């Protein structure tokens, strides 16, 4: 039986008020199951990153409901969880366009950071980090610094870090935008593999229609709502 990874009902986000009011999303709804890889597409400025930040419990919605797994985390006008930082650390993996690795930590230290923040024993955190670095074929770089790696290698480390807390939800905001096509396809294939092998739910923002064939569904933002598409919407780039 499929389980819900991410579910949204009636999600609204309004910035400002009066003459400065900007409505980004209105009554938007979506669902991504565990074991499902969804692409999120829309023109620039349509609210893709805003939506991801709300799903990631970083930005407060104006109205609506958000479930992460079977847990209701936002209920109409308030967080229904006591600590949003805790749920980000424990349930969600974030991947961004830039890798945001900490430059003064080596590769394995970067991957261990979130588990250690979650108070994992160091031995467990190190074992998990090595498993992930081996999974992404970059274990031989464990003691290297981010500045010593290529862009594609650093992005693989960033994905390993996103998985280090064993999340069931991954939010990826244009993770391939800084990569050439060969490396972009490699990263998306890795995400596809993670979805299938680890039963996670992934939402990936992308502007590259060549990557959509690796996804299970296409979500688009149209007229401030989220709709499911069977093909690439015209003008989404």
Torsion, CA 130, CA 150, CA 39, CA 189, rounded to 10: -60
Q: With 80 as the cut, is the pLDDT of residue 27 above it?
A: yes
The structural domains of the chain, with segments of one domain joined by +, span 34-57+82-229
pLDDT in tens, 29-82: 999 999 999 999 988 888 899 999 999 999 999 999 999 988 999 998 889 888
Average pLDDT in the chain:
89
DSSP letter for each residue of 15-65: ES-GGG-EEEEEEEEEEEETTEEEEEE--TTSSHHHHHHHHTTSS--SEEE
Confidence class of residue 1 from pLDDT cuts 50, 70 and 90?
A: very low
> In the structure, what pLDDT confidence band is assigned to residue 236 with cuts at 50, 70 and 90?
low
- Extract the tokens encoding 148: 């010593």
Instruction: Grade residue 232 by pLDDT with cuts at 50, 70 and 90.
Output: low
For residue 171, give both structure tokens: 């939010």
First to last CA, the chain: 35
pTM for the structure as a whole: 0.88
Could you give the C-alpha distances from 104 to 96, 144, 157, in angstroms and in order?
Answer: 19, 10, 15
Class of domain 34-57+82-229: alpha beta
Say if residues 183 and 149 touch (Cβ distance below 8 Å): no
pLDDT single digits (tens) 110-161: 999 999 998 999 999 999 999 999 988 899 999 999 999 988 889 889 989 9
| Percentage, residues of the chain above pLDDT 70 | 96
- Is the model's pLDDT at 237 over the cut of 90? no
* Residue count (the chain): 237
The order of strands in the sheet holding 225-229 is 92-95, 169-173, 201-205, 36-41, 217-222, 225-229
- Name the pLDDT band for 11 (thresholds 50, 70, 90): very high
The pLDDT of 186-214, averaged and rounded, is 90
């Amino acid at each position: 039986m499929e389980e819900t990874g991410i579910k949204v009902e009636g999600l609204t986000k309004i910035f400002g008020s009066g003459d400065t009011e900007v409505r980004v999303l209105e009554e938007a709804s979506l669902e991504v199951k565990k074991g499902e890889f969804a692409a999120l597409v829309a023109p620039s400025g349509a609210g893709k990153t805003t939506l991801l930040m709300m799903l990631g419990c970083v930005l407060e919605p104006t109205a609506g409901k958000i479930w992460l797994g079977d847990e209701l985390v936002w209920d109409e006008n308030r967080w229904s969880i006591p600590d949003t930082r805790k749920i980000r650390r424990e349930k969600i993996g974030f991947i961004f366009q830039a890798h945001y690795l900490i430059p003064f930590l080596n590769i394995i230290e970067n991957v261990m950071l979130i588990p250690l923040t979650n108070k994992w024993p160091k031995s467990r955190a190190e074992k998990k980090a090595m498993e992930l670095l081996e999974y992404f074929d970059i274990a031989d770089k464990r003691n290297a610094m981010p500045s010593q790696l290529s862009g594609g290698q650093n992005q693989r480390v960033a994905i390993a870090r996103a998985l280090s807390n064993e999340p069931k939800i991954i939010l990826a905001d244009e993770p391939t935008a800084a990569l050439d096509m060969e490396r972009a396809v490699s990263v998306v294939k890795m995400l596809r593999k993670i979805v299938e092998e680890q039963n996670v739910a992934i939402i990936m923002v992308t502007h590259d229609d060549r990557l959509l064939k690796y996804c299970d569904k296409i979500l688009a933002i149209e007229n401030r709502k989220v709709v499911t598409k069977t093909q690439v919407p015209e003008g989404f780039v």
